[in-house]
Structure 1
Amino acid sequence: MAEVCPDALFINYTNPLAILTGALIRFGVKTVGLCHSVQQCIPGLLTPLGMSTENVQWKIAGINHQWWLLEITRDGKDLYPEIKEKAFNRPTPHDDMVRYEIMKQFGYYVTESSEHSSEYVPWFIKSTHPELIEKFNIPLDEYPRRCVNQIQQWEDSPYK
């Protein structure tokens, strides 16, 4: 691409996102990395809180795996106060505990899963504080389990 179409922009939508995006940039390919968490953010946030996704508008900004829900409205009304009230009073444990803690500290919800977000910040996975894994319900084996399931699906596929 750097030689054939140097002005083109490569949109990377694959994992490992940051590593591949960085490698392409180092080789002179104009590249941006996009994560599927942006598309899944609103249903993943609102549905567990018992809130409808109908007529919702939002603004998300970030880079690679660090995207933030900056605004979320319905018919012009800010939904963040209701989201925060429901989120911070949700019974634990659940799968969004890291995301809610980040939202509590910074004011904004992150689009990436709690498991993945915990890998990108220095506060949740610490060898000196293993109790945080349980406190924030971080499934450290989520990605390996997903890989095992995908391999099994490929092996079971009639299309291989």
Structure 2
Amino acid sequence: MGEGEYTRVNMRVESETKERWTDFVDESDNYTSLSGLIRTAVKNEIDQSHAPSGQTNDDGDGQADDDRLAELLERVQRVEEHVVEIEDGVTRVEDRGSVPKEAQVDEPRAYPDGEVFEALPEGDDVGDGETVGQLAEKLPYGEGVVGHTVRFMEQKSGRVKTDRVGEQSVYWKEV
């Protein structure tokens, strides 16, 4: 992989597999992240599959391994820097969600978590809930923004509840 564009590669593994890999990374001095372990394993697999049968891609004195390791460490450092930048960006976006609408004028894509949460009816069961359309009528946002926001809050908060009434989902905040 050279300088330039990066592509995210997502993968699904069983929970036990991820746990075993994470434990290995935690105990290892060679890896600082699960991504680093996976990248190294994939690179090693590719290198081994391209070597002639019974041979490795090593020049015998370890210099090739040292060079590959140095290159790998440099790439890992760049990836870690990108991860920190992304985490900082996510934190800024999360912080904007609780800022009053007037303060978000220059950043209209921030979702109004606080306002939507306040508009949610309080209750104990589905009969207390409101649809996204009903919530949007009380707020200065369209159904798309309100719908995305309540679904996000329902996933991230133990207080926002949802259920289906007929064909529609209703939302409420638990008291």
Measured against the shorter chain, the TM-score band is under 0.3
Indicate the structure with greater strand content. 1
User: TM-score, normalising length from structure 2?
Assistant: 0.21
Higher relative contact order structure (alpha carbons within 8 Å, sequence separation ≥ 6): 1
Indicate the structure with greater helix content. 2
Larger radius of gyration: 2
User: TM-score, normalising length from structure 1?
Assistant: 0.22
